């Protein structure tokens, strides 16, 4: 889906599909600035999430993107920056 924006809703859906959700965390709460680790997602969960974002949105994230972007807000910004520079298919 090149050309569309990557939203928090899309991120939540992809997190749930790829890695599930911790019972202690309400993904529908105010999570934009919560560390992924505090949301219950370790590095492998983020690797899986990144892979799913890449194939769904037709982009290629840098290897470091997922380790640098520690919160949903940061990851959404990284993905949207890619989307704005990737020509529509």
Binding site for other proteins (CB under 8 A): 17-23, 40, 44-45, 47-48, 51, 54-55
The residue among 17 and 77 lying less far from other proteins, judged by its C-beta, is 17
For residue 64, the minimal CB distance to other proteins (Å) is 16
User: In angstroms, what is the minimal distance from the CB of 44 to other proteins?
Assistant: 5
Distance of CA 18 to CAs 13, 41, 85, Å? Answer: 9, 11, 26
String of DSSP letters for 16-75: HHHH---TT--TTSS-TTS-TTTTT--HHHHHHHHHHHHHHHT----TTHHHH--SHHHH
CB of 19 or CB of 31, closer to other proteins: 19
Q: 2 or 20, CB closer to other proteins?
A: 20
């Amino acid at each position: 889906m090149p050309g569309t924006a990557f939203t928090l809703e899309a991120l939540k859906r992809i997190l749930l599909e790829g890695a599930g959700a911790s019972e202690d965390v309400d993904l529908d709460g105010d999570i934009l600035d919560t560390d992924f680790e505090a949301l219950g997602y370790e590095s492998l969960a983020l690797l899986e999430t990144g892979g799913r974002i890449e194939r769904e949105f037709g982009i290629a994230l840098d290897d470091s993107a997922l380790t640098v972007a520690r919160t949903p807000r940061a990851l959404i910004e990284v993905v949207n920056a890619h989307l704005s520079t990737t020509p529509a298919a």
